[in-house]
């Protein structure tokens, strides 16, 4: 039996006027393949909107509160809004328990696939909050649930992403800039999995998998840091 959305609303800290907007944010496209008469659309359009709302709110906050250079602020923003962090937030809110998915999708034990779905759903929820309650409510949600993590990110320097770190280490150690190449793409368009290789000159140092080219590049860079023992 599907859980009561009122419980999810409490966790979100938002009471929806139109609960169908929240429900739509939880509809994975696979569900509609098995339920042709379901009255709501999939969540991808809300995800598209929510992604823009999150980026605007986070960017505005960083611009107003900090005086650092653009490159530093960009790294901080990337660390805050990347798919892994959004998926972690969705996990803490138990979003997965409320999702509408096909039986096959809901039983998939692949952690990366689950995180991809959760990150997209979180963005869709923000889009739903924005449409239903307005910009200020969406801003309040982002500040309380996401921006609150920024001081820890800065203190622990986790905003230095693996790609940036590998490039920095490669340039200072051997004077070479890494390059990335897509080695394979598998799966349907809505769930395509990429394998990317990272090279130093002609040497394939490591590979990485992800559900976007950017994610696969990041994983490849993290693996390359381990291969070269450049983690510290």
Q: Which of 48-52, 154-158, 164-168, 227-231 has the highest mean pLDDT?
A: 48-52
Min mean pLDDT across 48-52, 128-132, 212-216 is at 212-216
Residue range 99-103: mean pLDDT, rounded: 91
Q: Are residues 137 and 178 in the same domain?
A: no
Q: Are residues 152 and 166 in the same domain?
A: no
Is the pLDDT assigned to residue 120 strictly greater than 90?
yes
Percent of the chain residues past pLDDT 90, beyond the cut? 70
List the catalytic residue out of 20, 41, 44, 51. Answer: 51
CATH of the domain at 78: 1.10.1520.10
Q: Are residues 148 and 167 in the same domain?
A: no
List the catalytic residue out of 20, 41, 97, 123. Answer: 123
Q: Are residues 85 and 50 in the same domain?
A: yes
pLDDT per residue as tens digits for the range 50-97: 999 999 999 999 999 999 999 889 889 988 998 889 999 999 999 999
Q: Are residues 193 and 124 in the same domain?
A: no
- What is residue 176's predicted lDDT score, i.e. its pLDDT? 93
Q: Are residues 80 and 138 in the same domain?
A: yes
Is the pLDDT assigned to residue 104 strictly greater than 90?
no
At 160, is the pLDDT very low, low, confident or very high (cuts 50, 70, 90)? confident
Residue 211 φ then ψ, to 5°: -95, 15
At 214, is the pLDDT very low, low, confident or very high (cuts 50, 70, 90)? confident
Question: What is the domain count for the chain?
Answer: 2
Residue range 130-135: mean pLDDT, rounded: 98
Domain end call among 156, 181, 205: 156
Is the pLDDT assigned to residue 26 strictly greater than 90?
yes
The answer to whether residue 123 is catalytic is: yes
At 109, is the pLDDT very low, low, confident or very high (cuts 50, 70, 90)? low
Q: Are residues 44 and 129 in the same domain?
A: yes
Buried b (16+ CB within 10 A) or exposed e, 140-165: bbbeebbbeebeebeeeeebebbbeb
At 205, is the pLDDT very low, low, confident or very high (cuts 50, 70, 90)? very high
DSSP for the chain, written as a single string = -PPPHHHHHHHHT---SSHHHHHHHTB-HHHHHH-TT-SS--SHHHHHHHHHHHHHHHHHHHHHH----HHHHHHHHHHHHSHHHHHHHHHHTTGGGG-B--HHHHT---HHHHHHHHHHHHHHHHHHHHHHH-HHHHHHHHHHHTGGGHHHHHHHTTTS-HHHHHHHHHHHHHS---EEEEEEEES-GGG-EEEEEEEETTEEEEEEEESSHHHHHHHHHHHHHHHHT---
d(CA 194, CA 210): 5
At 212, is the pLDDT very low, low, confident or very high (cuts 50, 70, 90)? confident
Domain end call among 114, 137, 156: 156
Q: Are residues 146 and 109 in the same domain?
A: yes
Q: Are residues 22 and 112 in the same domain?
A: yes
Domain end call among 109, 129, 156: 156
Nearest to 145 by CA among 214, 215, 90: 90
CA angle 82, 43, 210 (to 5 degrees): 40
The answer to whether residue 4 is catalytic is: no
d(CA 37, CA 4): 22
Q: Are residues 111 and 37 in the same domain?
A: yes
Is the pLDDT assigned to residue 1 strictly greater than 60?
no
Nearest to 98 by CA among 5, 215, 176: 5
Residue 193 φ then ψ, to 5°: -110, 130
Q: Are residues 18 and 50 in the same domain?
A: yes
- What is residue 158's predicted lDDT score, i.e. its pLDDT? 76
What is the domain range of residue 51? 5-156
CATH of the domain at 196: 3.30.160.20
Q: Are residues 40 and 65 in the same domain?
A: yes
């Amino acid at each position: 039996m599907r859980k009561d959305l009122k419980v999810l609303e409490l966790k979100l800290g938002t009471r929806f006027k139109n609960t169908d907007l929240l429900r739509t944010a939880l509809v994975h496209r696979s569900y509609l393949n098995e339920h042709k008469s379901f009255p709501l659309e999939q969540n991808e359009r809300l995800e598209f909107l929510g992604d823009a709302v999150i980026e605007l709110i986070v960017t505005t906050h960083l611009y107003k509160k900090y005086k650092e250079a653009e490159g530093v602020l960009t790294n901080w923003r990337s660390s805050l809004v990347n798919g892994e962090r959004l998926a972690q937030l969705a996990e803490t809110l138990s979003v997965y328990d409320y999702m509408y998915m096909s039986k096959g999708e809901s039983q998939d034990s692949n952690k990366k696939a689950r995180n991809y779905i959760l990150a997209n759903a979180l963005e869709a929820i923000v889009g739903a909050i924005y449409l239903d309650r307005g910009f200020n409510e969406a801003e309040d949600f982002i500040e309380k649930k996401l921006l609150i993590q920024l001081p820890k990110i800065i203190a622990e320097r986790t905003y230095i992403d693996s790609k940036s770190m590998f490039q920095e280490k490669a340039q200072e150690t051997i004077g070479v800039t890494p390059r990335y190449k897509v080695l394979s793409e598998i799966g349907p368009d809505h769930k395509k999995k990429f394998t990317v290789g990272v090279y130093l000159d002609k040497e394939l140092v490591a590979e990485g998998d992800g559900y976007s080219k950017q994610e696969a590049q990041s994983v490849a860079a993290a693996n390359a840091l381990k291969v070269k023992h450049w983690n510290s």
